[in-house]
Every structure is written in C-alpha cells, then in structure tokens.
Amino acid sequence: MSKWYEQQGDHQQGVIISSRVRLARNLSDYAFPNRAKAAVSHEVIGKLSGAMSDEKGQLAQGYSIVDMNQISQVDKIAMMEMHIISPNFVKIQGPSALILSEDEAVSIMINEEDHLRIQSMAPGMDLYKALDEANKMDDLFEDKVDYAFDQDLGYLTACPTNLGTGLRASYMIHVPALETSGQLQLILDAIGKFGLTVRGIYGEGSDALGSVFQISNQVTLGMTEQEIIDNLSSVTRQIVEQELLVRSKLLKEKRHRFEDAVYRSYGILKYARMITSKEAMTMLSDMKLGIELGIIRTENDEQINIYNLMSRIQPANLQIMHNRHLSSDERDMARADYLRKHLPKVIEER
C-alpha cells in the first residue's frame, strides 16, 4: 500500500504541504503518564490495544502495533523525522506503544504526555479528512474505554492548554517568498490574536528549515472542533494568498535573481557529492519554488514531493536506508546520492 505522503492532494499551488489533526485523551481512574507507575502504564497499553482488537486479540485490519521499548533510538528518531511520532515520544523512557496504519496516515501514541494521542495526516489542505479519520479512531476507543471528561472543562489532559476538545490542528506550509521578503514576521506577530501560532518543521522548539513552517491552533477550550478548523483554515488561506502575491511581485521585479537562485540550487542538488541537511533543505525549497513559478520545467510536469524528500534525507532515515551507523561525512554523501536519484527530471534549456 502506498503511503499517504506519496499521494497528491489539493496543495493550494504548492504552499500547503500537509494537514494534521491530533486528539489528546486520557483514561479515567488512571494516573496521567508522567505520574503513572510502570505497571499502570502497561495496563493502559493493554486496554487501548485491546480496544482495537477482535475477540481473538488480533489488531484491526490495516494496523500494527509497535512496542516503543523494543526498537532502537535511531528507529524512533526516523519516525519523528517522518512526523509519525512527536519529538516528545522519542524521549519517553517508560512503557509506551504505537499503533500505526498501513499507509502511516494514522498514528496512535500510547503513554506520550497523555494516555492517548490520535494523530491523522493528509496531503495538501484537507483538515476535514484528517479530522474524520481521527474521529473514527476516537469513537472506536470511546466505545470501549472510559475517557477522563469534565462537563465544564471537556476532555481532561496532562497539559491545561489541551483541555476542552483536546484538538490540535495544523497545516505544514512552504512560504519562501514571505520569509525572504521579511513579511513573514509581520504575519507571525498578527496571528496570535486569532489563537494561532507558527512553529518550525517539527513543531514546538524546532527550527524552520527550507522555509517550511507549521501553523496551528493554540486554543482548545471554549471552541468546538468546527470553530477551531474554520479559524485555522481561514487564516491559512490568507497566508497562502499573501505568499502567492509576494511570489508574483518578486518574480516580476527580480526575475533574474530568482532564476539564478533556482538554477544554482538545481545544479547543486543534481551534481553535489556531499551536502548537509540544512543546505539540502534550502536547495529543495528553491527548486520547488522554481518549478511552481515555471522557471524550470520537469518531465510530465512532475512536482517535488518536498515532504517525502525532506524527511528521507534526515540523519536517522539515511542510516536506516543504509542499515548501519553513518558518520557525518557519510550522511552528507548518502544524502547527495539520494537526492540525485530522486529529483524530478528537469527539461534543461539549450
């Protein structure tokens, strides 16, 4: 089965890369994970995995379960690089488990900050699809286990910022024109008034690489799921419009500079024998923008699947591909080799 990130979605002209929904839930009568003893955490894993299993103990079709204590740190980091699990889940020392769909669109983290973190991903601007899949899983669990819920506060969570719906929704966006022009900071200063925040490529505390950011809601209490998603989508559409306007203006006023930057990046990606992760992310961003603006053409009008490429060239994923530890130089060589093999074929001018 193909993975969700190998599919093409409504990318809003390339600006919106993906949509993500995450629901935080806890079981009643159990201590939250950060206060629970190992025996309790194991019991929570059993109850939640059992909720997704049939009478014979077989997990629902299309899903598999991973004991996070039985896999290597490199495997965990590789999952984080693919956005399958959160950076925080990588660090968990106690009993924890992951239930993952075959297409990797739905990942269910057990004993992260909360007992249950249901995450659903979709390509492009499709939060409602992601929410629908997450709600299906949520309903399945709620039929089998008792959630910690308060009539006034909603779903009870380890962090007060997740109280209420327990819903965090986000778009991953590619906004090189806004970042280059300096206008992105103005937007960042403004969107906090709408209960939203912008973070780096791996969420809170991470850096923005290749002009890729995550925009998400900060408020979960006092708003419905519909209101949260409508608010986030409305603001994100405005950011998309601004990005496209600035792209058009810069292309008109500084076309030669744009062309030079795009072709330089293409040349490096095509011919480099060593390339760092940060440099590769910048070059991929330039090339993606160049294709979308028609500066360079590709065979069959192929687009760059920037989500897949940017994830696969990260350190842990490269080491898994090569099935061994790689030194820094070896990773830079492996990254360059991978990019040469997987870039869209460009129709070069003569």
pLDDT of residue 204: 64
Rounded mean pLDDT, 233-256: 93
pLDDT of residue 77: 97
Tell me what the pLDDT averaged over the chain comes to: 92
Task: Label residue 206 by pLDDT band (50, 70, 90).
Answer: low
Kindly give, in sequence order, each residue whose CB lies less than 8 Å from that of residue 263, ignoring residues fewer than 6 positions away. Answer: 290, 295, 296
Most distant CA pair in the chain: distance in Å? Answer: 71
**Model confidence at 245: pLDDT above 80:** yes
Whole-model pTM: value is 0.94
pLDDT of residue 10: 56
Rounded mean pLDDT, 125-151: 96
Instruction: Give me 322's structure tokens.
Output: 């090569």
**Residue that wins the pLDDT comparison between 276 and 203:** 276
Task: Label residue 97 by pLDDT band (50, 70, 90).
Answer: very high
Burial 210-241 (b: 16+ CB within 10 A, else e): bbbbbbbbebbbebebeebbebbbebbeebbe
Three-state secondary-structure class, residue 109:
strand
Q: Which of 61, 51, 71, 57 is nearest to 140 (CA)?
A: 51
